[in-house]
Amino acid sequence: MMALRASLVVVILAVTGIRTFGQPAPIVTHDFEGTDHGWQSMGASGRVTLTTAEGTFKSGKSALKFEYLIEPGEMSALMLPMGESAPAGMKSIAFWAKSPAAMPLLVVLQERGGGRYQALAFIPANRWQRVELALSDFTLGRDKDDPKDPNNKLDIEQLEAVAVADLAQMLAGVLDSNLIEMLGIRTGARMFFLDDITASTAALPVPTPHPGELIIDAFMRPQIGWFVTGHVRAEATADKPLEGKGMRLDYALTEGQIAAAMRGVPEGFLAKSDKLLMSMASAKATSVMVQLEESSGGKYNATVALEGDQKLRKVSLPFADFTVAEDSRDDNGKLDRAQIKQIIIADLSFSGAGAPSNTLWIGPVRASKVE
């Protein structure tokens, strides 16, 4: 598949904010009541306005509206020039987002003279989605066009800019038409709305791993931090059959479509792990592919059989059992754990082995740690 390519966005923007996460007051609050707070568009096709139409603001009487095109060669982002100093002590960002179509919303923090850090939030169609991001939710962009970071650490006091963009627009510029169709990326005019943005000194909760484990995603945030193909309705959930928090994927596929969720992994994060752990359940009996993609181009697959009837399965996938994918372009023919940059979970209905109309539940995704 593809990596999340935040590097395609070049940004000069600023950080902003909504309600507090606790007692500390927001450092910055943008409520968009009569002002756009200086937000602007980067890119020829982008247009920034205030909207007062019913259903297009979360609170008050107005919100920020960003219109753009998804077409090959088009690139635009919502941005705010930051100035000379970052909000002191910032630990988290929060806002509300809404779009007429489901979309992968990319938030990018650009350091002054340093790296570009990114976090992804899936926005469902036609409803307001709360997005909360701790600084630890951002990972360093390592694509060839991304700037190098001298210390490979997000230094918030050096923050130069924040950008908000539609990842689907970036992918439409680098993928061929067949893959764009398979992923459910629809070209044409698009828009999204933002309201009540805040930057805060309040820290968000972070998951505590069990002894001997690493946490890839504990699903602690109100939003899903995965790229989900356009044929899938996705939402965060804590309902049964899961034992705690996770995500739910609903889909009804036709020929040539795929139901998949993809999440980036920080470089080197799984270097000292030996297996992938998660819980899964399915409404119907199906087979699910779990793919690990390396930064060198290698792709390795494992298959999970699910009984259906919402029976929860505790999945343990040793890295040694992953086999090379047909489209792998590895440089050494073996899975290098330190190079794992992305995890993909896909129903195998596209190959005739899954359930084209189904619901999947996925619980916390972890890895066992070896010393």
Distance from chain centroid for Cα 171: 13
Q: Is 116 exposed, middle or buried (0-12, 13-18, 19+ CB in 10 A)?
A: buried
**Residue 214 burial (CB count, 10 A):** 17
Residues 187-207: what's their mean pLDDT?
94
Compute the mean pLDDT over every residue in the chain, rounded to the nearest whole number. Answer: 89
Note whether 226 and 261 are within 8 A (CB): yes
0.75 surpassed by pTM = yes
Q: Per the structure block, which two tokens stand in for 298?
A: 């290698």
Distance CA 214, CA 198 (A): 30
Asked if residue 101 has pLDDT above 90, the reply is yes
Residue 147's closest CA among 181, 91, 108?
A: 108
Looking at per-residue pLDDT, the higher value among 182 and 316 belongs to 316
Q: Write the pLDDT tens digit of every residue in 7-32.
A: 333 332 333 333 334 457 788 899 99
Cis peptide before 241 (omega within 30 of 0): yes
Class of domain 6-200 as given by CATH:
mainly beta
Class of domain 213-369 as given by CATH:
mainly beta
Asked if residue 340 has pLDDT above 90, the reply is yes
Note whether 304 and 287 are within 8 A (CB): yes
Q: Write the pLDDT tens digit of every residue in 115-141.
A: 999 999 999 999 999 999 999 999 998
Query: For the chain, what percent of residues have pLDDT higher than 70?
Result: 91
Distance CA 25, CA 33 (A): 19
Contacts of 313 (CB under 8 A, 6+ apart): 279, 280, 281, 304, 306, 307
Least confident of 116-130, 163-177, 278-292, 313-327: 163-177
Note whether 51 and 60 are within 8 A (CB): no
The total number of residues written for the chain in this structure: 371
As annotated, the residues of the chain forming the CATH 2.60.120.430 domain(s) are 6-200, 213-369
